[in-house]
Amino acid sequence: MADYSHAENLADAAQLAEMLRAIYECPKPTVARIQGDVYAGGMGLVAACDIAVSVDMAQYCLSEVKLGLIPATISPYVIRAMGTRGAPLFFDG
């Protein structure tokens, strides 16, 4: 994605947003089964699901924050899943 043009990055973000919205609004229950580490957009995927079941050793990271980028596309789902009180601690990088 680093080599994408501005338009390509916008289109990619729009596709991710549409996928997350479809999962979040799915009329049937959605379940995330986490068997390994979850980074960046994967966090949004997990957060958009109704239920998340994770192995104990899984690590979660909003890696874009470490680069100074805002995870804007996934933030609404992550904040909803974590609650507004817990989210600032996670977004602190």
**What does the block give as tokens for 1?**
């994605």
Banded pLDDT at 88 (limits 50, 70, 90): low
**Which whole number is the average pLDDT over 47-62?**
94
- Can you name the CATH fold of 6-90? 2-enoyl-CoA Hydratase; Chain A, domain 1 (3.90.226)
Q: In terms of Cα–Cα distance, which of 53, 36, 38, 42 is closest to 77?
A: 42
Question: Could you report the per-residue pLDDT of 10-41, keeping only the tens digit for each?
Answer: 999 899 999 999 999 999 999 999 999 999 89
Banded pLDDT at 55 (limits 50, 70, 90): very high
Q: With H, G, I as helix, E, B as strand and everything else as coil, classify residue 52.
A: strand
Q: Where are the domains of the chain?
A: 6-90
Q: Write down the pLDDT at residue 85.
A: 73
The catalytic residue positions are 64
CA distances 79 to 19, 44, 72, Å, are 17, 10, 11
Q: Write down the pLDDT at residue 92.
A: 57
For the stretch 19-33, what's the b/e string if a residue is b when 16 or more beta carbons lie within 10 angstroms of its beta carbon? ebeebbeeeeebebe
